[in-house]
Structure 1
């Protein structure tokens, strides 16, 4: 049934530069087309982007949430932190692709291969950052690049019942007016009230040159993808996005592969000598934060700090889907999902094991939770839980995950060449090896409450060892990204599961130094002061 091939966007860019311009032109023209549609039409980019997060007003109207209950909004349909994360976003991309094909029949959504050689050395492909593009096949030259940004045709907010003229204490916590244009690192897009707007304006005045900003973005992406440079002591293996993508393909079952909640529970239960499982959602979160406004972890680990005031749209769940790069990033996430399926022989059927049906990440009360209208504590299933609001045209019923397992025969597409295509299960054994004399133990971090923070934040872990002579030696143990909403405490499905649990391998430390070490975890966020009530629980396992 396969009818289309999703290619790497960098491959299409190279073809364009060689003179084969039409494939990339079709993609650009289709994106321009859906961005120009009436925002109330389902095919419009505004309506499609709004399915993931903002504007919550649309979600309330569809699902009849009571406006008098200020804690009732659910923040869009997206699934994070549960077993529906890969399948919901697969259905989402399929819907967006159909909209693009309504503009250019047969066009396919490309993927940004974030771990190919180009990205590892240069950052995002240039097609995402150049200001204008030429589409000679369509008679269009020097038009604004539809993949660089998007300008909102309608205002969005997450507390729409509040009066925009209210006092500062009552003003919307997250609000963007019609005419706002999405931004990426190192710029800020936080404009919810007068105070935020003033700070954002002052911050962005420091970065007036688009070319310089593109260079800063690309340098940051390269740093996130590759991790720290070798030093003494050496950084931990795997402390980068490339290694996380590679490791997630070895996750032993769909449940722990699919989401951070299930993986955290798994890592807390397995023997410390076994390598941590990396879920697909982990590198997904990292890329959001890299594009959206956080310095690479090794930079913040070195106390150089964030780009103070940076707050790009990709860095928060609220409006990340209004940045066009969101969909090319998620297309790569879906490709990695397909690679995992092929590697583990699950391209035709997908299941949550019988002994994991009540596992963390399989309930509507886990992490962000599912979608409006699902009662807390509801068991999530691949064959029964609807992937709202997407409907299967073959059955006229809502899509469920089992409708989206076989991309070739159920959805009619496959993927062109990309990184990790040649990976095999045999590679897992080499990745799990521990150097003689080094620790097999882990540091477990618990107790960090997401509700204390506005938006996403980052944890970095460190160990300090003092020898008998008083000389200290510090180890950087790695990082953990928390991709979150700007206002978690007022989001009903976010409040269901607020604790952050992270596990850090101690394999970069000699075994005889672990018991003498002092462990610390730093929280890197956009506020100037850590919130009151912040607590962490540190425990060495093994």
Structure 2
């Protein structure tokens, strides 16, 4: 067979990816999205007649064998350990499976762009087949032509959770030309036609991925093969984490160098001269969402995350964040980084950069011609854009200023209180977390509270809860060379949790400028944390965990959206001497 080319949607030119809440309101387009997703997942809708679906792909014995099925496209992200579309560049770099994983490297944002575009092109092609076969009419053809993969803005100023059509409805009512029909909801979960032998039970402790026939979010039990998703727990989690995620996103947009923006490694390839000591990378924020949504389910583990249908809505928003950041930093340099032990298609011990093949996403019929990062920095290459760029022209001298205003309206950065001027200092307080990524053998998170109580009995709905830092780590590193190498090397990653919002809400200080004189004592007594695995099991802090608190002194000029940094100071005395706290002088 000819190699599969990643083109993105091929009909309609450049159209807008909609936020999922807005897509739900577009009845015809949402209906086609659902029907196309059902077809990709191999859902048999015959029992729901007269719902029309595209002709079954009879050349495959099972939908999961089709390289353009939901199962196969989702599997590119992790398991099963099989080369997708025989992708191997000039030949695989190893006879042992290494996966395509680029997590923790400078290619993290750009590798996922053609990935979502591939999903999107199959989605639109399937929707067009539906309207053509069943003669839906001109309005439906237009809806299919403009259909793009929706995104879920998890940092939205309005809502913390995606709509019920994504997270709580097991069946869903959609519009069809003859009226409406209720069908199985392909966004709620994905049903495996058969479970691949590579799926495991995470060392016998659960999750039991080798027994679950459907993808789960916040499973009520991680060891019961017949468990179900806990929707209430999921919504509670997203609500509790929403404020901190919004703060992380706002600060992320003030990063100016690619290495610090692109991935979560604590120091590799980072620009030492940049002020990024208090700002989470795009990948670190992305990791948080995976763990918040999964919590013992598929989204919480890189090997299985792609099978949860919410994955592509999540990554469409990650891609949107990339597009917005590039809009603010059009002259950025995609700096190289180490390949370490490589992947199935990337050699060991080389520098990966803007010219590295983004396998397995091919650019042409030449089976060795893959997209490269420098070729896909514009979303228009794959036929889509985002609402944030509406009525903006890159030729406008004030383009960056207008885009910046839109971004920071959605995702605020710390603001100096009162009337902004150069004489009004303000301190922004941040927790920095550093830890070895693979020390606990899978995903886990560190939860923070501001309280004098014992936090062992507190949950995330408690008023003292600040937020958490999540580690999104594979539990099946034998199938991923990049993961094995990072585990062997003891790769340290980092992220940040911000404190001002909660300090203010709890009324811990009366001073408007949050001066260290007023804050350090409070935090020394009240800042507490605990560690739990993604399945919710509480564990002792890993030996590599180091938590340090900093304060950044800011000032703001009239008319400026983003405050200026004077200096960042670390306060090791706040956490020194505690399990997981500050340990080494000079390690700031």
Structure 2 CA distance for aligned equivalents of residues 527 and 102 of structure 1 = 40
Compute the displacement of 1:172 (Å). Answer: 11
Structure 2 CA distance for aligned equivalents of residues 506 and 116 of structure 1 = 19
User: Structure 2 regions of 5+ residues with no counterpart?
Assistant: 1-11, 43-56, 58-62, 129-144, 391-401, 419-423, 453-462, 504-513, 550-569, 572-588
Matched, 1:416 2:387: yes
Report the equivalent of 1:511.
Answer: 516
* TM-superposition CA deviations, 1:149-176 (whole Å, max 9, x none): 111123235479xxxxxxx999899874
Structure 2 CA distance for aligned equivalents of residues 142 and 59 of structure 1 = 34
TM-score normalised by structure 2 residue count: 0.66
Compute the displacement of 1:49 (Å). Answer: 0.5
Report the equivalent of 2:545.
Answer: 536
SS across alignment from 1:423: helix
Matched, 1:336 2:324: no
2:165 aligned to which of 122, 127, 130: 127
Structure 1 CA distance for aligned equivalents of residues 252 and 541 of structure 2 = 35
Q: 1:449 to 1:531 in 2, by over 3 A?
A: farther
Compute the displacement of 1:66 (Å). Answer: 6.7
1:12 aligned to which of 7, 23, 26: 23
SS across alignment from 1:156: coil
Compute the displacement of 1:44 (Å). Answer: 0.5
User: Structure 1 regions of 5+ residues with no counterpart?
Assistant: 16-20, 161-167, 191-198, 227-239, 294-310, 466-473
Which protein has the larger Cα radius of gyration, Structure 1 or Structure 2? 2
Matched, 1:318 2:303: yes
Structure 2 CA distance for aligned equivalents of residues 169 and 143 of structure 1 = 33
* TM-superposition CA deviations, 1:213-256 (whole Å, max 9, x none): 43332232222213xxxxxxxxxxxxx11222222222212332
Compute the displacement of 1:29 (Å). Answer: 1.3
Q: 1:113 to 1:394 in 2, by over 3 A?
A: farther
Matched, 1:33 2:21: no
Report the equivalent of 1:200.
Answer: 224
Structure 2 CA distance for aligned equivalents of residues 517 and 143 of structure 1 = 54
Matched, 1:378 2:340: no
Structure 2 CA distance for aligned equivalents of residues 527 and 3 of structure 1 = 43
Report the equivalent of 1:387.
Answer: 358
Structure 2 CA distance for aligned equivalents of residues 251 and 528 of structure 1 = 34
Q: 1:333 to 1:429 in 2, by over 3 A?
A: closer
SS across alignment from 1:389: strand
Structure 2 CA distance for aligned equivalents of residues 402 and 31 of structure 1 = 30
1:111 aligned to which of 141, 146, 151: 151
Structure 1 CA distance for aligned equivalents of residues 365 and 246 of structure 2 = 38
Checking the alignment, whether the CA contact within 8 Å between 1:462 and 1:521 is kept in structure 2 is yes
Compute the displacement of 1:442 (Å). Answer: 6.2
SS across alignment from 1:200: coil
Checking the alignment, whether the CA contact within 8 Å between 2:15 and 2:384 is kept in structure 1 is yes
Compute the displacement of 1:400 (Å). Answer: 0.7
Compute the displacement of 1:102 (Å). Answer: 2.1
SS across alignment from 1:374: coil
Q: 1:527 to 1:173 in 2, by over 3 A?
A: closer
Checking the alignment, whether the CA contact within 8 Å between 1:455 and 1:488 is kept in structure 2 is no
Report the equivalent of 2:192.
Answer: 152
SS across alignment from 1:143: strand
SS across alignment from 1:101: helix
- Pairing 1:460-499 to 2, within 5 Å after superposition: 460=447, 479-488=468-477, 491-497=480-486, 498-499=491-492
- Pairing 1:233-252 to 2, within 5 Å after superposition: 240-252=244-256
* TM-superposition CA deviations, 1:246-301 (whole Å, max 9, x none): 22222212332111126787598757xx76223212221121112111xxxxxxxx
1:455 aligned to which of 442, 453, 458: 442
TM-score normalised by structure 1 residue count: 0.71
- Pairing 1:73-472 to 2, within 5 Å after superposition: 73-74=97-98, 76-105=99-128, 106=145, 107-120=147-160, 123-128=161-166, 129-137=168-176, 141-158=181-198, 176-177=209-210, 180-188=213-221, 190=222, 199-201=223-225, 204=227, 213-226=230-243, 240-261=244-265, 266=270, 276-293=278-295, 311-345=296-330, 351-353=333-335, 357=336, 362-365=337-340, 371-382=343-354, 384-393=355-364, 397-408=369-380, 410-416=381-387, 423=405, 431=414, 433=416, 444-446=432-434, 448-460=435-447
Checking the alignment, whether the CA contact within 8 Å between 1:256 and 1:266 is kept in structure 2 is yes
Report the equivalent of 1:522.
Answer: 530
Checking the alignment, whether the CA contact within 8 Å between 2:264 and 2:494 is kept in structure 1 is no
Report the equivalent of 1:232.
Answer: none
SS across alignment from 2:351: coil
Compute the displacement of 1:145 (Å). Answer: 1.0
Aligned residues: 452
Checking the alignment, whether the CA contact within 8 Å between 1:54 and 1:319 is kept in structure 2 is yes
Checking the alignment, whether the CA contact within 8 Å between 1:364 and 1:379 is kept in structure 2 is yes
SS across alignment from 2:353: coil
Matched, 1:51 2:57: no
Q: 1:31 to 1:538 in 2, by over 3 A?
A: closer
